[in-house]
Amino acid sequence: MNNIAFNIALPLLAAFLLPVIHNGSAKASRLVGPFVLLAMCWFAAAYFIFIEHPVALALGGFLPPLGISFHLDQLSLLMAVIIPLMLLLLWPYTNREGFREEALLLLLAGASSGMALSGDLFNIYVFYELLSVASFGLAASTHNGAAFAATFRYLVISGLGTVLALTGIGLIYTQTGTLNLAHIGQLAAQLDNNVGLAAFALIVLGIGVKAEIFPVNGWVPEVYATAKPRISALLAGLISKLAVLAIVRLLVVAYADTDALSLLLVLGILGIIWGELSAWRAKDLKRMFAFSSIGQLGMVLVAFSIPGEAGMFAGLAMMLHHLLVKPALFMLTENWSGSISSLTGAARQSPLGAALFILFALSLIGVPPFPGFWAKLIMVTGLVGADDSLYLLALGILLTATVIEANYLIRCAIQLYAPADENSSQSAKHGRLTLSISSALGVVLIISLFSITPLGNKLYQIAAEASNRSLYINTTLSNAQVPALRKIQ
Amino acid sequence: MSMLDTLLLISLLTVLLTGLGQRVTFIGWIATLLLTAQLLTLLLMGKLGYGGEIIDASFGFSILGQPLNWRYDALSWFFALITIGSALAGSAFAAGAWGDQYRKEGGNPGLLQFSIALNVLAMLLLLGSGDLLSLFIGWELVSWASLLLMVIAGGRASEFGMRYIVYATAGAMAVLAGLAIIFQLTGSFAYDDLAAVAPALNTLQIVTLTLLFFFGFGIKMGLLPFHLWQADAYAETPGPGTAFLGAISSRMGLYAILVVIIQLIGLVRLIEIEIPYSFLSLRDLLMWVAAISIIIPTFIALRQSDARRLLAWHGIGQGGYMLIGLLVLDPYGSAGGLMHVFNHATYQAALFLSVSAVIYRTRTSDLNRLGGLVTRMPLSFLVMLIGIIGLAGIPPMNGFVSKWLVYRSLIIEGMPLLFVASVIGTLGTILSVYKLIHNTFLGQLRLEHEHIREVPLSMTIPMLVLSAIVFITGFMPGLVLDWVGSAQVALGMPQLAHTLGGVESTQGSLDMIWVCSVLFGGFAVGALLFYSGNKAKRVHQLDNYAGGHFLTADVRYHYSDNFYAGLMHHIGSWYRGSFLWLESSLISVVSSLSGGAQLLYNSFHPALYLLMAITLSLYFFIG
Amino acid sequence: MRNYSALLFASGLAFLLMVIAWQFTIGGAPMLIGNAILQQAADELGAANLVTSVVLGYRGIDTLGEIAILFTAATATSLVLSSISGQRSRPAPNTAQSGTILISSSRLLFPLLLTLGLYIVLHGHLTPGGGFQGGVILAAAFFLPLLAVPGHGVNHSGLALVEGFSGAAFILIGIIALFQGNAFLQPFMGHGAMGSLFSAGTLPLLYIAVGLKVGAELSGLLANLAEIGPAHPVAEISVETQSVKGSAHQ
């Protein structure tokens, strides 16, 4: 019995029942979450490995485009595997605060999986909403005034964003009369007008609030600075990528050859400039990473705006790399929270933490032979290949931003190794859990460094499949899998 | 398994062992031993130096459909010889007494040895790169490895290392952009594909590629206007590390320029491209950059009062000679440029080691706080004497031969202005190296240095070996010119006809054996006259008078402050620090932009930006 | 300044959206999916209320998402409030403030609201309304006593039980379909006679689950808010909690 719908059903079921289980036995309730996440991993991985894809799965037994369908290709299944893995890694194992946070995390897992898998625009919107609400709760879970204030800003802008996104979806529905992505793709010609593009802009900026797209990311620095490192890691690493992917799916099926690309490109360029410049003068590590992740997301956006397969390849490479590196860096802020100057000499107290910091910083900058370099190389060749002056401008900005990034990251690294002075924080030692999470991600980074050839080939294959518009449309509209609808007497 | 594999494996082993054995007290000797093994392996590959077959590494990767491979030809071998040689000198110097003292002062000699070994491995990989992608990987490895060497001293060294890495990253990014353009043009990173496509490129493409690569690789050489980082970063490295960096590190930039610009893109194309509204071709422009990189850093060196900084600034200037020689593109110039790489490494390492020896005993490299050490440290004095003669390019040392070749080629090819520029540089060099040796070893011994002794054997031997090489290759430059000739062939350049003593050609000959014989004959006559005449009388330094007064120990008659006051009176106003000003204003621009960017995030409610963005983008699509 | 710029951009946005709206012709929008569903829904699902066929049939997973959003909001709120309310003792029921009229009318309204809510939930597949609407009315029924008598006790664990099991029921109905070899959330149990109470397969069951869940969730949420008492600025509360902690130490 294997069905990818379990990846939505199980975490939601567990979250609904968690309060009840908790009232019965608090100990048992602590086991539920990890168990469900493991099961999700298994379902997605099994689908990835054993079942032929790409395939569309009709939910409720209604064939698309009437019913909602899940689009299962390598990309969405890959994300469906990564989501529970990431949550398992960042699960609050030592948290004694209660079941509510765990319930929210499970809901987040279900919503993320839904966003990754769904092939229906409105369904994506619903899961996006679910994801947003869960993330508000998690962001505020630090229980202090600053976190509440930051979350409130986040909530307001996010709410405004969802309204805009909904308007955009509405506009698309008025133009095409359908909500299924594949069906929209088939009718894409009706969207290549100013109403269609306006709808895209509304959706990009609406969903872009989570994707940290400039300029709708004003919430990012404060929320990441006040939330728990685990939560920041989750938001910056995973959630932002899902929002980007939703935009990219829409882009590929309906807006591949339009002005929509230049909108993404311009927003991406501005994001790089603003993010990296702000990070340069950030006062503490959390804000620095927050700004840097804005810059990185800008790079991802620029990469995706390259037309064709090259763009998908570059975008996925940058995205997956950031997904791996940023959570690890955020985890390291756990006990390195004060101003950067108080980190002087922290390497002596936490040598492994400092070494991991350097490893991830180097990969983030894109120093060969670390994976970040290959991602950047793919992106750079893609930008030159796009053969357009705006893309060359983006190339220049990307490279300059890398210099700035190298500057502030290495400045921190050197500070960590400097001899301690009177500013130094006395307790810059990392907890064992934090270190093992970061190390686990570091090990993944090192492994991917040594298996870069097969990884690159696989990623190219995934990108080729994900950027194939007619394949997407045919998979859903011609070959959707639905168990024979039982004719009822 | 080829010899190249063996070499790289030993190098890797060196890195691993020094990395793991941080706490072992005799780690320095292990490193020295392993570096010797590397040198021997390289010598076993010595056929390369005489035009042997290219040696391929048997390993190779294919990433994203692009093959990566490594191989050694005569040029790589020549540079590798210098790399391992200078690393060995530095490592051996640090292994004994120097390392013990370094450890006592809280340093970690194991880390120093590890950094040197790591740099060597990175450089060997860079030198062996068989395509542009492996070249870039090697390039970045070298950049980051040398950062490690620069910052291990901590304190101010970190600041300078930080500055270095900003410059280095900027350069690397320029190179990366160049690589991407090449990939777009040829569809691969292979050298051959670029060389095949290069003649068909249009002017814009050539200019773009040349400038990107020249900027990227030139930063490592400290070419103007990107020279600010180098001297400080090198000078603050622990002594033997400075010797190693000063000897070879910036030459990696030269190697990359040689391979990519001169060999693959082709200098001939650059000569053809005229710069609008000037008399210069693109090649001339690069040569003038090199010439200015000779003059300005050399005269900056003249003003330094720290021995290590003085030498480090010269390192930049000497790099200009190498580049200018290679850009002339005739047998003389390219041979001179390549040979100068070798020569510079030998005397520069010797000079840095001798300064380190002085620091080891006196704890300072401040030229205003030294003097008269010749009686206490005669061997170090000898090493420095030989070194500065080489640096200034005066016979009979090897620096003379390579500079002579460069001058000669500039004259033959009819570039008098560049010749004058090089000579002005040499003038500045002579003045400043005199300041160096005078303020350190000559004149009055300071009271606090009364009880100083010569440095131990573990330190003098590497210094003396280096000085011996400086002299021998000056006496018989043919030894080096053999390798240089093979390297020229590997680069596809005309080979210089040479003999053991120097050059034998219709366009100008030089026989160092003969020059040296005359020189030493003259010395011999002088010595004969000196010793046959009145017996000299040895007196104490203070058994003397000046200005009609007898001297006592508390009277300073050795003036080192404000050296060359007269000269500075005339040229002092030319030192404006414009580049420093440029750099600091760039930093303040970034800083205020950064502040502005942050302000934007904090000053309004984020929702306003959402509103603005959506309104503008809707306007973009509808309006 | 910032208010003016906000106003400026908001009116710009409004103008641009109006420009877009201007281009539509009323009734001219394509109704591809809408028309297809209009034609097929009655046959496929057998629900007299077409909206219900869409909400629970064609777009059932959306509905699951929506009840999850509500649940998430409630959980997030109680997570935030837990740091505040945990420190405060619940005020004792205070009947004196409310007066007889309020109390007796709330008692009178309670069964009426309950009946109305249940009716709307149960007839969701037949008439306009359904689980969400009915659930809100149910919540109102339970919230009324709380309004009438501040400090009126609420059985939170009971609410949690209803909430958890009704949500689980929705998903389990979906999973049962899966185990029958159908798709997740595929309706089963036959159509029945259209228009009768027992028709449209599992849709009424789903709506009951939704109704109970929405009702329980909203009651719980409102009760949580009510127990905090009159609105305190967050800062004040945190200061208070600190002083409570401080006095505990003494």
Structure tokens at B293: 């990189």
A489: in domain: no
In a shared domain, residues A314 and A369: yes
Residues A435, A438, A440, A442, CA torsion sign:
negative
What is the rounded distance in angstroms from the CA atom of residue B449 to the CA atom of residue B446? 5
What confidence tens digit (pLDDT) does each residue in A110-121 have? Answer: 999 999 999 999
**Is the CB of residue A272 less than 8 Å away from at least one CB of chain B?**
no
CB contact under 8 A, A277 and B158: no
Domain that holds residue B292: 278-496+536-575
Whether B180 sits inside 8 A of A201 (CB atoms) is no
Top-confidence range, A417-431, A465-479, B112-126, B552-566: B112-126
Find chain B residues with C-beta within 8 A of C20's C-beta: 618, 622
* pLDDT higher than 80, residue B513: yes
User: Could you tell me the maximum CA-CA distance found in chain B, to the nearest angstrom?
Assistant: 103
Q: Both B609 and B491 in a single domain?
A: no
Distance, in Å, from the CA atom of A464 to the CA atom of A313, rounded to the nearest integer, reads 8
- Distance, in Å, from the CA atom of A59 to the CA atom of C182, rounded to the nearest integer, reads 9
- B361 and B421: one domain? yes
Q: Cα separation of C227 and B457, whole Å?
A: 85
Same domain, A332 and A352: yes
B459 and B606 together in one domain: no
- The verdict on a CB contact (< 8 Å) between C6 and B619 is no
Residue B77 within a domain: no
Task: Provide the b/e sequence for C198-230 (b: ≥16 CB within 10 Å).
Answer: ebbbbbbbbbbbbbbbbbbbbbbbbbbebbeee
What does residue C104 show for φ and ψ, rounded to 5 degrees? -70, -35
Contact of B606 with chain C, judged by CB distance below 8 Å, is answered with no
Q: Minimal CA–CA distance to B92: which of B465, B464, B459, B468?
A: B459
User: Rounded to whole angstroms, what are the CA distances from A83 to A7, A225, B333?
Assistant: 10, 23, 62
A191-208 average pLDDT score: 88
- Residue B546, classed as helix, strand or coil, is strand
Closest chain C residue by Cα to residue B604: C2
Same domain? For B487 and B584 the reply is no
Q: Taking CB atoms and an 8 Å cutoff, what residues of chain B touch A221?
A: 601
Q: In degrees, to the nearest 5, what angle opens at C-alpha B148 toward C-alphas B145 and B150?
A: 115
Domain extent, residue A99, equals: 1-119
pLDDT of residue A482: 56
Among A240-249, B475-484, C52-61, which is the least confidently predicted range?
Answer: C52-61
User: Chain A contact for C72, CB < 8 A?
Assistant: yes
Among chain B residues, CA nearest to A259: B621
CB distance from A464 to chain B under 8 Å?
no
The answer to whether residues A466 and A406 belong to one domain is yes
pLDDT higher than threshold 90 for residue A29: no
User: Residue A198: closest CA among chain C residues belongs to which residue?
Assistant: C20
Looking at the fold, whether B595 and B567 belong to one and the same domain comes out as no
Position A97 scores a pLDDT of 64
Confidence class for position C26, pLDDT limits 50, 70, 90: low
The pLDDT, as a whole number, for residue B84 is 94
pLDDT tens, B13-23? 999 999 898 88
Question: What pTM was estimated for this model as a whole?
Answer: 0.90
Question: pLDDT tens across A252-302, in order?
Answer: 998 887 788 988 999 999 999 999 999 998 888 899 999 999 999 999 999
Number of domains in chain B: 2
User: Which candidate in C66, C79, C162 is best for mutational testing of the A interface (most A CBs within 10 A)?
Assistant: C79
> Which one of C72, C82, C165, C178 makes the best mutation probe of the A interface by having the most chain A beta carbons within 10 Å?
C72
Confidence label for C237 from pLDDT (cuts 50, 70 and 90): very low
Per-residue confidence (pLDDT) for residue C134, from 0 to 100:
92
Residues A170 and A238 in one domain: yes
Tokens standing for residue C23: 């281009």
Q: Provide the pLDDT for residue B187.
A: 86
What spatial distance separates the first Cα and last Cα of chain B, rounded to whole Å?
Answer: 68
Query: Which of A167, A263, A272, A377 has the highest number of chain B CBs within 10 A, making it the mutation to test binding with B?
Result: A377
Of B165, B598, B621, the CB nearest to A406: B165
Domain layout of chain C by residue ranges = 49-84+91-249
Where helices occur in B363-456 by DSSP H, the ranges are: 378-392, 398-412, 416-441
Å between C28 CA and nearest CA of chain B: 20
Query: Model confidence at A49, in pLDDT bands (50, 70, 90)?
Result: confident
Tokens in use for C177? 């379909």
Phi, psi of A180 (to 5 degrees): -70, 130
pLDDT of B401-428, one tens digit each?
Answer: 999 999 999 998 888 899 999 999 999 9
- Establish if A455 touches chain B: CB-CB under 8 angstroms: no
Interface of A with C in 165-194 (CB under 8 A): 167, 171, 173-180, 183, 190, 194
pLDDT for residue C244: 38
Same domain, A126 and A227: yes
Is residue A123 within 8 angstroms of chain C, CB to CB?
A: yes
The pLDDT score that the predictor gives to residue C93 is 61
> What is the complex's ipTM, to 2 decimals?
0.90
Q: Which of A12, A61, A141 sits opposite C68 (nearest CB)?
A: A12
Q: For the segment B62-103, what is each residue's pLDDT rounded down to a tens digit?
A: 877 788 899 999 999 999 999 999 999 999 999 988 888 888
Nearest to B582 by CA among B227, B153, B308: B227
Is the pLDDT at C90 greater than 70, yes or no? no
Question: Which residue in A133, A160, A164 has the most chain C C-beta atoms within 10 A of its own C-beta, making it the best mutation to test that interface?
Answer: A133
In a domain, B396, yes or no: yes
pLDDT for B384 equals 94
Least-confidence region, from B427-431, B456-460, C55-59, C98-102? C98-102
Tell me whether residue A147 is in a domain. Answer: yes
Note whether B610 contacts C: Cβ–Cβ < 8 A. no
Q: C 1-60 residues with CB below 8 A of A?
A: 16-17, 20, 23-24, 29-34, 36-37, 40, 44, 57-60
For the stretch B275-312, pLDDT in tens is 888 888 888 899 999 999 999 999 999 888 899 999 99
Q: How confident is the model at residue A83 (pLDDT cuts 50, 70, 90)?
A: very high
Q: Tell me the C-alpha distance between C129 and B298, whole Å.
A: 88
B297 with B432, same domain: the answer is yes
Best mutation target among C1, C2, C13, C24 (most B Cβ atoms within 10 Å) is C13
Model pLDDT, residue C232? 44
Cβ <8 Å between C16 and B608: no
**Residue B61: beta bridge partners?**
B68
Nearest to A198 among B151, B600, B621 (CB): B621
Q: CB–CB of C167 and A114 under 8 A?
A: no
Residues A185 and A295 occupy one common structural domain: no
A96 touches chain C (CB under 8 A): no
Q: Which residues contact residue C198 at a Cβ distance below 8 angstroms, ignoring those fewer than 6 apart? A: C192, C204
Q: Is residue A95 included in any domain, yes or no?
A: yes
pLDDT at C94: 63
Is A480 domain-assigned?
no
B462 and B599 in a common domain: no
Shared-domain flag, residues B460 and B424: yes
Contact B615 C9 (CB under 8 A): yes
How many structural domains comprise chain A?
3
- CB pair distance less than 8 Å for A377 and B618: no
- Residue ending a domain, among A119, A139, A164, is A119
Element (H, E) at B57: strand B55-63
Contact assignment for C9 to B623 by CB distance below 8 Å: no
Task: Tell me which of B506 and A206 has the higher pLDDT.
Answer: A206
Same domain for B341 and B297?
Answer: yes
More confident position, A108 or C247: A108
Asked if B276 reaches chain C (Cβ–Cβ under 8 Å), the answer is no
* Interatomic CA distance for residues A379 and A301, integer angstroms: 11
The Cα angle at residue C107 between residues C101 and C113, in degrees rounded to 5: 120
Candidates B169, B211, B589, partner chain A, best to mutate (most A CBs within 10 A): B169
Asked whether the beta carbons of residue A176 and residue C30 sit closer than 8 angstroms, the reply is: yes
Give the pLDDT band (50/70/90) at residue C95. Answer: low
Residue B528 CA, distance from chain mean position: 40
Report the C-alpha gap between B209 and A464 in whole angstroms. 31
**Chain B residues touching C12 at Cβ < 8 A:** 615, 619
Question: Domain check: are A71 and A115 in the same one?
Answer: yes
Q: Point out the residue among A5, A15, A488 whose CB comes nearest to the CB of C184.
A: A5
B-chain residue closest to A373, CA distance: B137
Does residue B602 share a domain with residue B558?
no
Single out the residue of B420, A15, A378 nearest to residue C160, CA to CA: A15
User: Average pLDDT of B544-566?
Assistant: 76
pLDDT(B545) > 80 = no
Residue with tokens 């629900």: C47
Q: Is residue B363 part of a domain?
A: yes
Same domain, B287 and B408: yes
pLDDT at residue C246 greater than cutoff 70: no
Per-residue pLDDT tens over the stretch B96-134: 888 888 888 888 888 999 999 999 999 999 999 989 999
Asked if C17 has any chain B CB less than 8 Å from its own CB, the reply is yes
pLDDT band at residue B137 using 50, 70 and 90 as cut-offs: very high
Higher local confidence (pLDDT), C88 or B106:
B106
Query: Looking at the structure, do residues A227 and A278 belong to the same domain, yes or no?
Result: no
What per-residue confidence (pLDDT) applies to B218? 92
Q: A66 and C69: CB-CB below 8 Å? A: no
Q: Would you say residue C243 has pLDDT above 80?
A: no
pLDDT of B550: 77
What pLDDT was estimated at residue B124? 94
If one compares A399 and C199, the residue with the highest pLDDT of the two is A399
Cβ within 8 Å, pair A384-B620:
no
Give me the pLDDT at residue A84, please.
94
Residue A243: the pLDDT is: 94
Asked if residue B237 is part of any domain, the answer here is: no
Q: Tokens 């990519």 label which residue?
A: B260
Q: Provide the phi-psi class of B502: left if phi over 0, else alpha when psi is between -120 and 50, else beta.
A: left
Cβ atoms A431, A353 nearer than 8 A = no
Q: Say which of B605, B611, B622 has its CB closest to residue C9.
A: B611
Task: Identify which of B604, B605, B615 has the shortest CB distance to residue C13.
Answer: B615
A439-448, B117-126, C66-75, C141-150: least confident range: C141-150
The string of pLDDT tens digits covering residues C110-161 is 999 999 999 999 888 888 888 889 999 999 998 888 878 776 677 878 888 8
Ranked by mean pLDDT, the top range of A214-223, B69-78, B526-535 is: B69-78
**pLDDT tens digits for B305-354?**
899 999 999 999 999 999 999 998 888 899 999 999 999 999 999 999 99
| Cβ under 8 Å to C: A residues 206-245 | none
Q: Are residues A114 and A18 in the same domain?
A: yes
pLDDT (0 to 100) of residue B370: 85
Which range scores top for mean pLDDT: A395-399, A412-416, B159-163, C29-33? A395-399
Domain presence at residue A479:
no
Q: Is B117 inside any structural domain?
A: no
pLDDT at B605 over 50: yes
Closest of A292, A311, A299, A194 to residue A251, by C-alpha: A311
Q: Are residues B558 and B605 in the same domain?
A: no
